[in-house]
Amino acid sequence: MRSAHPIEDAVGIEYYVSDADGIDGQLRVDPSDFRVRELEQFETEPVDADPGPYPELVCRVRLENWDTNDFVRRLSDALGISRERVSWAGTKDKRAITTQLITIEGIDPEDLPEIRGADIDVVGRAGRPLTFGDLAGNAFEICVRDAVDDAPERAERIAADLRDFAGAGDDDSVGVPNYFGQQRFGSRRPVTHAVGLAALRGDWRGAVRAYVGNPYETEPEATQEARDLVEAEFDTDDPDWEACLDAMPNALRFERSMLHRLQETGAETDADWRNALEAVPSNLQRMFVNAAQSYVFNRILSERLERGLPFDRPVAGDVACFADGDAPAELYAPDTDRLQRVSEERVRVMERHCERGKAFVTAPLVGTETELADGEPGEIEREVVDEVGIEPSDFDLPGDFGSTGTRRAILLRTDLEVDDDLWFEFALPSGSYATVLLREFLKSGPLEL
């Protein structure tokens, strides 16, 4: 197997499936090169439905070069309402053309403003706002520019390898390990999992240090210098947090918030260090633990690859899940609420389900309620959990740091079309990463994705 990029290796992504050379190239040369269309599972009423029981106006927005959060801020300002009255299922990146639903509470169609780079079409009304659970997946059209001259031939060789990995036979579906992509951990500075792992081990001081210190060469020089100062102060008996705060760039507001708490309250106990870590928003606190779970998951997948165990079908001891029967037709979507332990006697039955795209092998996102697999898959899971120095009970943490855990499909499968102009068309279930598929084709490192 071909080894992954060193930055990927740091987050548990250790291999490529295909040994073929990549096509190189660039993504997002122009926003129109990256098109994302949400696939939702959300029922609406007609637009003339009574606003009493249906207060949410449902709109489909097509955005060019707009981050979803920035667009919502602009929309709510134009409407003169709180951002809390605008809801959506998935946040989209800026340098792209994206299409998604939003709901707006207490607004009529004639109130909608015109916003440059945004087309807003009224779809209907609903009795509740959109949530993340309404997002089934995303359909992608992505163009790779400035690739090598023989890129179409290389792309076909890679696609053939990925079809074999998916166990797809003669159809167009390909498969890759369902890794959590680099952006889960920080593309230029992958540290969120290190913060989470330290917190899970009860090392709140180490968690703060991993986030505020810990410089990376991919950061601006002033940022590296500020983090170097933090590291130096951590090694003294009487840290000067005020000096660290003065050095930390204003743009790094979360780091500054932690340092401000250390300056105000000191850092003498575990409670003080945890208080500093809790200076960041609750969603980021959850992300620390989620990233730790994701790192462990990636490590489990890499070890399974190294041992040569299949991803497209189970072996004895695996835990499989069935497909989501309500998902849009474009998706191979798992339903991890419907789990099945695969005994020796059940292997062949579950193999057939997996061959038809009706079931998937899973691995754990470890939490307090996690039950690990049996056989060799369970051996892998236990070894990785032991190596990173955690166990399921460690996730019994206060506030937003706790997690009960779940399981996740290990194979990301999709129908893929690639033309000679290197337009890639495919659809993925929510929670999976387009970059995890595209990395197999480009092989140019995560910062280029």
For residue 232, being part of any structural domain is answered with yes
Same domain, 154 and 295: no
What is the Cα–Cα distance from 343 to 166, expressed in whole angstroms?
Answer: 22
What distance in Å separates the CA atoms of residue 351 and residue 342, rounded to the nearest whole number?
10
Catalytic machinery residues: 93
The answer as to whether 184 is a domain residue is: no
- Could you say which of 229, 260, 280 is where a domain stops? 280
- pLDDT of res. 293: 98
- Domain span at residue 374 reads 288-409
Q: Which two tokens stand for residue 141?
A: 């059209």
Please, what's the largest Cα pairwise distance for the chain?
68
Is the domain of 170 the same as that of 234?
A: no
**Which of residues 252, 280, 308 is at a domain's end?**
280
Same domain for 395 and 348: yes
C-alpha to C-alpha distances, 294 to 57, 192, 385, 441, nearest whole angstrom? 35, 10, 12, 23
Residue 170 is predicted with a pLDDT of 61
Q: Are residues 325 and 340 in the same domain?
A: yes
Q: Within this chain, do residues 12 and 40 fall inside the same structural domain, yes or no?
A: no
Q: In this predicted structure, what is the pLDDT of residue 129?
A: 97
CATH of the domain at 376: 3.30.2350.20
- Looking at the domain assignment, is residue 187 inside a domain? no
Question: Rg (Cα) of the chain, in Å, rounded?
Answer: 23
155 Cβ contact partners less than 8 Å away, ≥ 6 residues apart: 23, 418, 422, 441
Distance CA 358, CA 281 (A): 39
Show Cβ contacts of residue 114 under 8 Å, excluding neighbours closer than 6 positions: none
SS3 323: strand
Same domain, residue pair 41 and 71? yes
Nearest-angstrom CA–CA distance, 207 and 244: 17
In-domain check, residue 186: no
The domain boundary, picked from 106, 137, 168, lies at 137
Residues of the chain with pLDDT under 70: 168-170
Three-class secondary structure of residue 349 per DSSP? helix
- Which residues, including other chains, have CB under 8 Å from residue 136's CB and lie 6 or more apart? 39, 40, 41, 324, 327, 328, 331, 333, 429, 430
**CATH number of the domain residue 129 falls in:** 3.30.70.3160
In a shared domain, residues 302 and 231: no
Q: What are φ and ψ of residue 58, in 5° steps? A: -100, 125
In this structure, the number of other CB atoms found within 10 A of the CB of residue 82 comes to: 9
What total of structural domains would you count in the chain? 4
Q: How far apart are CA 155 and CA 142, in angstroms?
A: 14
- 383 contact partners, CB below 8 Å, separation of at least 6: 303
List the end-to-end C-alpha distance of the chain, in Å, as a whole number: 21
pLDDT of residue 179: 98
Least Cα distance to 239 among 231, 227, 228, 247 occurs for 231
Q: Note whether 180 and 294 are within 8 A (CB).
A: yes
* pLDDT score recorded for residue 394: 95
In a domain, 250, yes or no: yes
Q: What is the pLDDT of residues 289-328, one digit of tens each?
A: 999 999 999 999 999 999 999 999 999 999 999 999 889 9
250 to each of 58, 212, 244, 254, 258, how far by Cα in Å? 38, 13, 12, 10, 13
pLDDT of the residue at 329: 87
Q: How far is the C-alpha of 156 from the C-alpha of 159, rounded, in Å?
A: 5
* CA–CA separation, 262 and 353 (whole Å): 54
Strands in 41-133 per DSSP E: 56-64, 86-88, 97-105, 118-126
Statement to judge: residues 335 and 373 lie in one domain:
yes
On whether both 80 and 156 belong to a single domain, the answer is no
- The verdict on residue 12 lying in a domain is yes
Domain shared by 200 and 300, yes or no:
no
Residues 324 and 381 grouped into a single domain: yes
Residue 401, helix vs strand vs coil = helix
Q: Are 337 and 251 members of one domain?
A: no
Between 282-307 and 192-200, two packed helices, what is the crossing angle to 10 degrees? 100
Q: Is residue 183 part of a domain?
A: no
Q: What is the pLDDT of residue 283?
A: 87
CATH assignment of the domain containing 262: 1.10.1510.30
**DSSP string computed for 255-282:** HHHHHHHHHHH---SHHHHHHHHTTS-H
Q: Is residue 325 part of a domain?
A: yes
Q: In terms of Cα–Cα distance, which of 124, 122, 60 is closest to 89? A: 60
